[in-house]
Amino acid sequence: MPAPYRFAIIGASAGIFEAHVRALSQTAGRLVAIAGRTETLGREHAAACRCAYYTDYRQMLAEVRPDVAVILTPHPTHAAIGIDCLQAGCHVLVEKPVAIQMADADALIATADRAGRLVAVCFQQRARPEVRAARALLQSGALGRLQRVELVAPRTRTRAYYRSAPWRGRWREEGGGVLVNQAAHDLDLLCFLLGLPLRVQAWTRTAWHAIQVEDTAHGLFEWEDGLLGYFQASTAEGWPALRRFDIVGTCGYLQIRSDHLVFEQSALDLRDVLETSPQISTTPPTQPQTVALEAGRRGDHLAVYTNLIAALDGTEPLLAEARSAAQSLELANAITLSSHRNRAVDLPLDREQYRQLLAQLRAA
Protein backbone atom coordinates (compact mmCIF):
# COMPACT_ATOMS: atom_id res chain seq x y z
CA MET A 1 0.00 0.00 0.00
CA PRO A 2 1.51 3.41 -1.00
CA ALA A 3 2.43 5.88 1.73
CA PRO A 4 -0.21 8.58 2.38
CA TYR A 5 0.26 11.99 0.84
CA ARG A 6 1.92 14.40 3.24
CA PHE A 7 0.08 17.69 3.75
CA ALA A 8 1.27 20.95 5.33
CA ILE A 9 -1.00 23.86 6.24
CA ILE A 10 0.08 27.48 5.88
CA GLY A 11 -2.09 29.85 7.92
CA ALA A 12 -2.59 28.58 11.45
CA SER A 13 -4.90 31.39 12.59
CA ALA A 14 -7.42 31.06 9.77
CA GLY A 15 -11.02 30.64 10.88
CA ILE A 16 -11.42 27.77 8.42
CA PHE A 17 -8.40 25.90 9.83
CA GLU A 18 -10.39 23.35 11.85
CA ALA A 19 -12.60 22.46 8.88
CA HIS A 20 -9.50 21.59 6.86
CA VAL A 21 -7.94 19.51 9.63
CA ARG A 22 -11.20 17.67 10.19
CA ALA A 23 -11.62 16.91 6.48
CA LEU A 24 -8.01 15.79 6.03
CA SER A 25 -8.28 13.47 9.04
CA GLN A 26 -11.05 11.55 7.22
CA THR A 27 -8.83 10.76 4.23
CA ALA A 28 -5.64 8.83 3.62
CA GLY A 29 -3.68 12.08 3.74
CA ARG A 30 -1.48 12.95 6.71
CA LEU A 31 -0.82 16.38 8.23
CA VAL A 32 2.94 16.68 8.82
CA ALA A 33 3.46 20.40 9.48
CA ILE A 34 1.78 23.72 10.19
CA ALA A 35 3.20 27.17 9.46
CA GLY A 36 1.84 30.41 10.83
CA ARG A 37 3.02 33.72 12.24
CA THR A 38 0.75 33.58 15.32
CA GLU A 39 3.12 31.41 17.31
CA THR A 40 1.03 30.62 20.40
CA LEU A 41 -1.96 29.47 18.36
CA GLY A 42 0.25 27.69 15.84
CA ARG A 43 2.02 25.67 18.50
CA GLU A 44 -1.33 24.75 20.08
CA HIS A 45 -2.61 23.49 16.73
CA ALA A 46 0.59 21.59 16.02
CA ALA A 47 0.50 19.92 19.44
CA ALA A 48 -3.13 18.90 18.93
CA CYS A 49 -2.37 17.58 15.44
CA ARG A 50 0.92 15.96 16.50
CA CYS A 51 2.91 17.61 13.76
CA ALA A 52 5.76 20.09 13.35
CA TYR A 53 5.29 23.84 13.67
CA TYR A 54 7.11 26.63 11.82
CA THR A 55 6.79 30.39 11.91
CA ASP A 56 8.35 30.61 8.42
CA TYR A 57 6.56 28.64 5.72
CA ARG A 58 9.58 28.77 3.43
CA GLN A 59 11.68 27.01 6.04
CA MET A 60 8.91 24.45 6.43
CA LEU A 61 8.82 23.81 2.68
CA ALA A 62 12.58 23.32 2.56
CA GLU A 63 12.83 21.04 5.59
CA VAL A 64 9.58 19.06 5.49
CA ARG A 65 9.07 18.92 1.70
CA PRO A 66 5.35 18.10 1.86
CA ASP A 67 3.50 16.65 -1.10
CA VAL A 68 0.68 19.19 -0.77
CA ALA A 69 0.70 22.71 0.70
CA VAL A 70 -2.67 23.99 1.92
CA ILE A 71 -2.90 27.81 1.89
CA LEU A 72 -5.30 29.41 4.38
CA THR A 73 -3.73 32.86 4.66
CA PRO A 74 -5.52 36.17 3.84
CA HIS A 75 -6.58 36.53 0.20
CA PRO A 76 -3.89 38.89 -1.14
CA THR A 77 -1.15 36.40 -0.19
CA HIS A 78 -2.65 33.33 -1.88
CA ALA A 79 -0.95 33.62 -5.26
CA ALA A 80 2.52 34.57 -4.00
CA ILE A 81 2.61 31.81 -1.39
CA GLY A 82 1.19 29.36 -3.92
CA ILE A 83 4.00 30.18 -6.35
CA ASP A 84 6.58 29.58 -3.60
CA CYS A 85 5.00 26.20 -2.83
CA LEU A 86 4.92 25.15 -6.48
CA GLN A 87 8.54 26.13 -6.96
CA ALA A 88 9.39 24.04 -3.90
CA GLY A 89 7.86 21.01 -5.63
CA CYS A 90 4.49 20.89 -3.84
CA HIS A 91 1.01 20.53 -5.18
CA VAL A 92 -1.26 23.28 -3.84
CA LEU A 93 -4.70 23.45 -2.28
CA VAL A 94 -5.76 27.05 -1.73
CA GLU A 95 -8.83 28.53 -0.09
CA LYS A 96 -10.99 30.75 -2.25
CA PRO A 97 -10.37 33.13 -3.89
CA VAL A 98 -7.34 31.86 -5.76
CA ALA A 99 -6.05 35.46 -5.83
CA ILE A 100 -7.49 38.98 -5.65
CA GLN A 101 -6.69 40.01 -9.22
CA MET A 102 -6.36 38.04 -12.42
CA ALA A 103 -2.76 39.02 -13.10
CA ASP A 104 -1.76 37.19 -9.91
CA ALA A 105 -3.94 34.19 -10.76
CA ASP A 106 -2.34 34.03 -14.23
CA ALA A 107 1.11 33.95 -12.64
CA LEU A 108 0.10 31.13 -10.30
CA ILE A 109 -1.39 29.07 -13.12
CA ALA A 110 1.67 29.59 -15.33
CA THR A 111 3.95 28.47 -12.49
CA ALA A 112 1.85 25.33 -11.95
CA ASP A 113 2.07 24.51 -15.65
CA ARG A 114 5.85 24.87 -15.65
CA ALA A 115 6.23 22.85 -12.44
CA GLY A 116 3.85 20.10 -13.55
CA ARG A 117 1.92 20.39 -10.28
CA LEU A 118 -1.78 20.60 -9.43
CA VAL A 119 -3.47 23.67 -7.96
CA ALA A 120 -6.87 22.95 -6.45
CA VAL A 121 -9.19 25.67 -5.12
CA CYS A 122 -11.69 25.18 -2.30
CA PHE A 123 -14.89 25.60 -4.27
CA GLN A 124 -16.54 22.70 -2.49
CA GLN A 125 -20.05 23.71 -3.50
CA ARG A 126 -19.36 22.30 -6.97
CA ALA A 127 -19.71 18.89 -5.31
CA ARG A 128 -23.26 19.54 -4.05
CA PRO A 129 -25.57 16.86 -5.52
CA GLU A 130 -28.09 19.45 -6.76
CA VAL A 131 -25.32 21.41 -8.50
CA ARG A 132 -23.95 18.29 -10.19
CA ALA A 133 -27.45 17.34 -11.33
CA ALA A 134 -28.10 20.85 -12.65
CA ARG A 135 -24.85 20.78 -14.62
CA ALA A 136 -25.76 17.44 -16.17
CA LEU A 137 -29.19 18.76 -17.21
CA LEU A 138 -27.69 21.89 -18.74
CA GLN A 139 -25.07 19.90 -20.65
CA SER A 140 -27.78 17.57 -21.97
CA GLY A 141 -29.74 20.48 -23.45
CA ALA A 142 -32.84 19.60 -21.43
CA LEU A 143 -33.73 23.29 -20.99
CA GLY A 144 -33.55 24.11 -24.68
CA ARG A 145 -31.92 27.42 -25.51
CA LEU A 146 -31.05 29.31 -22.34
CA GLN A 147 -32.70 32.72 -22.00
CA ARG A 148 -32.29 34.10 -18.47
CA VAL A 149 -30.41 33.46 -15.25
CA GLU A 150 -31.00 35.15 -11.91
CA LEU A 151 -28.71 34.69 -8.92
CA VAL A 152 -29.48 36.51 -5.67
CA ALA A 153 -27.08 35.86 -2.81
CA PRO A 154 -27.58 37.62 0.53
CA ARG A 155 -24.52 36.79 2.70
CA THR A 156 -25.15 38.71 5.91
CA ARG A 157 -22.18 39.81 8.00
CA THR A 158 -22.12 41.99 11.11
CA ARG A 159 -19.84 44.70 12.47
CA ALA A 160 -18.41 42.05 14.80
CA TYR A 161 -17.38 40.01 11.75
CA TYR A 162 -15.43 42.86 10.22
CA ARG A 163 -13.77 43.58 13.56
CA SER A 164 -12.77 39.92 14.05
CA ALA A 165 -9.58 40.29 11.96
CA PRO A 166 -7.59 43.41 11.05
CA TRP A 167 -7.49 42.53 7.34
CA ARG A 168 -11.25 42.35 6.82
CA GLY A 169 -12.99 45.10 4.90
CA ARG A 170 -9.85 46.89 3.67
CA TRP A 171 -8.61 47.18 0.10
CA ARG A 172 -4.96 46.69 0.95
CA GLU A 173 -5.44 43.71 3.27
CA GLU A 174 -8.49 41.95 1.74
CA GLY A 175 -8.45 43.14 -1.86
CA GLY A 176 -12.22 43.33 -2.17
CA GLY A 177 -15.44 42.76 -0.29
CA VAL A 178 -18.48 40.63 -0.91
CA LEU A 179 -17.34 39.81 -4.46
CA VAL A 180 -14.02 38.14 -3.64
CA ASN A 181 -15.00 36.80 -0.24
CA GLN A 182 -18.58 35.97 0.70
CA ALA A 183 -20.11 35.62 -2.79
CA ALA A 184 -17.11 33.90 -4.37
CA HIS A 185 -18.93 30.55 -4.21
CA ASP A 186 -21.99 32.04 -5.93
CA LEU A 187 -19.95 33.54 -8.76
CA ASP A 188 -18.08 30.24 -9.09
CA LEU A 189 -21.30 28.26 -9.48
CA LEU A 190 -22.52 30.76 -12.07
CA CYS A 191 -19.36 30.25 -14.14
CA PHE A 192 -19.21 26.50 -13.43
CA LEU A 193 -22.72 26.00 -14.81
CA LEU A 194 -22.92 28.63 -17.53
CA GLY A 195 -19.39 29.69 -18.38
CA LEU A 196 -17.84 33.14 -18.21
CA PRO A 197 -20.05 35.93 -19.60
CA LEU A 198 -18.86 38.08 -22.48
CA ARG A 199 -19.96 41.43 -21.06
CA VAL A 200 -20.68 42.94 -17.64
CA GLN A 201 -22.44 46.11 -16.54
CA ALA A 202 -22.35 46.44 -12.79
CA TRP A 203 -22.69 48.62 -9.71
CA THR A 204 -21.02 48.16 -6.35
CA ARG A 205 -21.67 50.12 -3.17
CA THR A 206 -20.38 50.42 0.36
CA ALA A 207 -23.81 51.31 1.62
CA TRP A 208 -24.22 49.87 5.09
CA HIS A 209 -20.96 48.79 6.72
CA ALA A 210 -18.16 51.08 7.91
CA ILE A 211 -15.58 49.40 5.65
CA GLN A 212 -13.53 50.38 2.59
CA VAL A 213 -14.57 47.58 0.23
CA GLU A 214 -17.98 46.93 -1.29
CA ASP A 215 -20.74 45.39 0.83
CA THR A 216 -23.26 45.24 -2.05
CA ALA A 217 -22.94 44.37 -5.74
CA HIS A 218 -25.40 44.23 -8.63
CA GLY A 219 -24.49 43.03 -12.09
CA LEU A 220 -26.05 42.48 -15.52
CA PHE A 221 -24.37 39.82 -17.66
CA GLU A 222 -24.50 38.81 -21.32
CA TRP A 223 -23.26 35.51 -22.71
CA GLU A 224 -22.19 34.64 -26.25
CA ASP A 225 -25.41 32.81 -27.17
CA GLY A 226 -27.72 35.64 -26.07
CA LEU A 227 -28.27 34.43 -22.52
CA LEU A 228 -28.83 37.36 -20.16
CA GLY A 229 -28.40 37.33 -16.40
CA TYR A 230 -28.73 39.30 -13.20
CA PHE A 231 -26.60 38.92 -10.10
CA GLN A 232 -26.94 40.49 -6.66
CA ALA A 233 -24.92 39.89 -3.51
CA SER A 234 -24.68 41.76 -0.22
CA THR A 235 -23.28 41.36 3.26
CA ALA A 236 -25.77 43.99 4.44
CA GLU A 237 -28.98 42.23 3.39
CA GLY A 238 -30.82 39.68 5.49
CA TRP A 239 -33.54 37.19 4.68
CA PRO A 240 -31.51 34.20 3.41
CA ALA A 241 -34.79 32.56 2.42
CA LEU A 242 -34.77 34.93 -0.57
CA ARG A 243 -31.53 33.43 -1.87
CA ARG A 244 -32.14 31.91 -5.29
CA PHE A 245 -30.48 30.65 -8.42
CA ASP A 246 -32.89 30.32 -11.36
CA ILE A 247 -32.05 29.30 -14.93
CA VAL A 248 -34.73 29.65 -17.61
CA GLY A 249 -34.72 28.09 -21.06
CA THR A 250 -37.12 27.61 -23.94
CA CYS A 251 -37.98 24.06 -22.78
CA GLY A 252 -38.13 24.54 -19.01
CA TYR A 253 -36.40 25.97 -15.99
CA LEU A 254 -34.22 25.05 -13.02
CA GLN A 255 -34.31 26.39 -9.50
CA ILE A 256 -31.19 25.47 -7.52
CA ARG A 257 -31.76 25.60 -3.78
CA SER A 258 -29.55 24.82 -0.80
CA ASP A 259 -30.47 21.14 -0.63
CA HIS A 260 -32.72 20.36 -3.58
CA LEU A 261 -33.35 21.04 -7.25
CA VAL A 262 -36.61 22.06 -8.92
CA PHE A 263 -36.84 21.12 -12.61
CA GLU A 264 -39.90 21.91 -14.74
CA GLN A 265 -39.81 20.78 -18.36
CA SER A 266 -42.05 21.23 -21.39
CA ALA A 267 -42.53 18.79 -24.24
CA LEU A 268 -42.75 21.86 -26.51
CA ASP A 269 -40.04 24.35 -27.29
CA LEU A 270 -41.12 27.94 -26.67
CA ARG A 271 -39.54 28.98 -29.95
CA ASP A 272 -41.96 26.75 -31.86
CA VAL A 273 -44.92 27.92 -29.79
CA LEU A 274 -44.11 31.58 -30.42
CA GLU A 275 -43.89 30.90 -34.13
CA THR A 276 -46.87 28.58 -34.73
CA SER A 277 -49.49 29.10 -32.00
CA PRO A 278 -52.77 30.70 -33.21
CA GLN A 279 -53.30 32.19 -29.73
CA ILE A 280 -52.16 35.73 -29.06
CA SER A 281 -50.86 34.88 -25.58
CA THR A 282 -49.85 31.42 -24.47
CA THR A 283 -47.02 29.47 -22.92
CA PRO A 284 -46.09 25.80 -23.30
CA PRO A 285 -47.24 23.67 -20.35
CA THR A 286 -44.52 22.32 -18.08
CA GLN A 287 -44.41 19.29 -15.83
CA PRO A 288 -42.34 18.83 -12.66
CA GLN A 289 -39.54 16.34 -13.26
CA THR A 290 -38.01 14.11 -10.63
CA VAL A 291 -34.26 14.54 -10.54
CA ALA A 292 -32.27 11.80 -8.84
CA LEU A 293 -29.47 13.27 -6.73
CA GLU A 294 -26.31 11.30 -6.06
CA ALA A 295 -26.43 9.72 -2.61
CA GLY A 296 -23.46 10.25 -0.35
CA ARG A 297 -22.32 13.43 -2.10
CA ARG A 298 -21.74 16.55 -0.02
CA GLY A 299 -20.46 19.99 -0.88
CA ASP A 300 -17.97 20.28 1.96
CA HIS A 301 -14.22 20.31 2.53
CA LEU A 302 -14.13 16.53 2.76
CA ALA A 303 -15.28 16.44 -0.88
CA VAL A 304 -12.38 18.72 -1.80
CA TYR A 305 -9.76 16.58 -0.04
CA THR A 306 -11.18 13.29 -1.31
CA ASN A 307 -11.18 14.64 -4.86
CA LEU A 308 -7.66 16.08 -4.55
CA ILE A 309 -6.22 12.76 -3.39
CA ALA A 310 -8.01 10.98 -6.24
CA ALA A 311 -6.58 13.53 -8.67
CA LEU A 312 -3.08 12.94 -7.27
CA ASP A 313 -3.67 9.22 -7.80
CA GLY A 314 -4.74 9.97 -11.38
CA THR A 315 -8.22 8.46 -10.97
CA GLU A 316 -10.36 11.60 -11.46
CA PRO A 317 -9.99 15.24 -12.52
CA LEU A 318 -9.81 18.05 -10.00
CA LEU A 319 -13.15 19.38 -8.83
CA ALA A 320 -11.96 22.99 -9.14
CA GLU A 321 -8.56 23.39 -10.77
CA ALA A 322 -7.08 26.88 -10.74
CA ARG A 323 -7.78 27.80 -14.36
CA SER A 324 -11.47 27.01 -14.02
CA ALA A 325 -11.71 28.45 -10.50
CA ALA A 326 -10.19 31.74 -11.66
CA GLN A 327 -13.25 32.47 -13.82
CA SER A 328 -15.18 33.64 -10.76
CA LEU A 329 -12.31 35.97 -9.86
CA GLU A 330 -12.26 37.35 -13.40
CA LEU A 331 -15.99 38.04 -13.14
CA ALA A 332 -15.58 39.67 -9.71
CA ASN A 333 -12.79 41.89 -11.07
CA ALA A 334 -14.97 42.82 -14.06
CA ILE A 335 -17.89 43.79 -11.81
CA THR A 336 -15.62 46.03 -9.73
CA LEU A 337 -14.02 47.61 -12.80
CA SER A 338 -17.41 48.23 -14.43
CA SER A 339 -18.76 49.97 -11.34
CA HIS A 340 -15.74 52.16 -10.69
CA ARG A 341 -15.32 53.11 -14.36
CA ASN A 342 -19.10 53.48 -14.87
CA ARG A 343 -19.16 51.50 -18.10
CA ALA A 344 -19.69 48.04 -19.49
CA VAL A 345 -16.66 45.74 -19.37
CA ASP A 346 -15.90 43.05 -21.95
CA LEU A 347 -14.32 39.73 -21.04
CA PRO A 348 -11.60 38.49 -21.07
CA LEU A 349 -10.72 41.15 -18.52
CA ASP A 350 -8.05 43.73 -19.29
CA ARG A 351 -5.59 42.80 -16.53
CA GLU A 352 -3.69 46.08 -16.67
CA GLN A 353 -6.83 48.20 -16.30
CA TYR A 354 -7.82 46.27 -13.20
CA ARG A 355 -4.30 46.39 -11.79
CA GLN A 356 -4.36 50.17 -12.07
CA LEU A 357 -7.78 50.39 -10.42
CA LEU A 358 -6.78 48.14 -7.53
CA ALA A 359 -3.64 50.20 -6.98
CA GLN A 360 -5.76 53.36 -6.82
CA LEU A 361 -8.19 51.80 -4.34
CA ARG A 362 -5.38 50.56 -2.12
CA ALA A 363 -3.66 53.95 -2.16
CA ALA A 364 -6.81 55.95 -1.39
pLDDT in tens, 224-255: 999 999 999 999 998 888 899 999 999 999 99
pLDDT, mean over the chain: 95
| Residue 134 domain-assigned (yes or no) | yes
Measured between its terminal Cα atoms, the distance across the chain in Å is 56
Is 103 in the same domain as 220? no
Residue 17 has a pLDDT of: 94
Is 194 in the same domain as 270? yes
Positive/negative CA dihedral, 345, 350, 356, 362 = positive
Q: Classify 105 in phi/psi space as left (phi over 0), alpha (psi -120 to 50) or beta.
A: alpha
Could you give the percent of the chain with pLDDT greater than 70?
Answer: 100
Q: Flag whether pLDDT at 98 surpasses 60.
A: yes
Residue 279: give the domain boundaries. Answer: 128-295+326-363
* Averaged pLDDT, 115-135: 97
| Residue 214 domain-assigned (yes or no) | yes
DSSP SS3 for 245: strand
Which helix (H) or strand (E) segment holds residue 171: the answer is helix 171-174
For residue 127, name the pLDDT band (cuts at 50, 70, 90). very high
Is 33 in the same domain as 69? yes
Is 146 in the same domain as 289? yes
Q: Flag whether pLDDT at 342 surpasses 90.
A: yes
pLDDT tens-digit profile of 11-46?
Answer: 988 789 999 999 999 999 999 999 999 899 999 999
| Residue 192 domain-assigned (yes or no) | yes
Residue 250 has a pLDDT of: 97
Is 46 in the same domain as 188? no
C-alpha to C-alpha distance for 74 and 68, rounded to whole angstroms? 19
Q: Is the pTM of this model over 0.75?
A: yes
| Residue 19 domain-assigned (yes or no) | yes
What is the CATH classification number for the domain harbouring 214? 3.30.360.10
Is 138 in the same domain as 286? yes
Is 182 in the same domain as 253? yes
Is 94 in the same domain as 38? yes
| Residue 72 domain-assigned (yes or no) | yes
Residue 1 has a pLDDT of: 53
* Averaged pLDDT, 69-74: 96
Is 354 in the same domain as 341? yes
Q: Flag whether pLDDT at 157 surpasses 60.
A: yes
C-alpha to C-alpha distance for 10 and 28, rounded to whole angstroms? 20
Is 206 in the same domain as 135? yes
| Residue 193 domain-assigned (yes or no) | yes
pLDDT tens-digit profile of 186-232?
Answer: 999 999 999 999 999 999 999 899 999 999 999 999 999 999 999 99
What is the CATH classification number for the domain harbouring 107? 3.40.50.720
* Averaged pLDDT, 166-193: 95
C-alpha to C-alpha distance for 212 and 160, rounded to whole angstroms? 16
Sorted by sequence, the CB contacts under 8 Å of residue 41 that are 6+ apart come out as 12, 13
| Residue 65 domain-assigned (yes or no) | yes
| Residue 1 domain-assigned (yes or no) | no
Is 92 in the same domain as 132? no
Number of domains making up the chain: 2
pLDDT tens-digit profile of 266-315?
Answer: 999 999 999 999 999 998 899 999 998 988 778 899 999 999 999 999 99
Q: Flag whether pLDDT at 167 surpasses 70.
A: yes
Is 307 in the same domain as 261? no
For residue 222, count CB atoms less than 10 angstroms from its CB and return exposed for 0-12, middle for 13-18, buried for 19 or more. middle
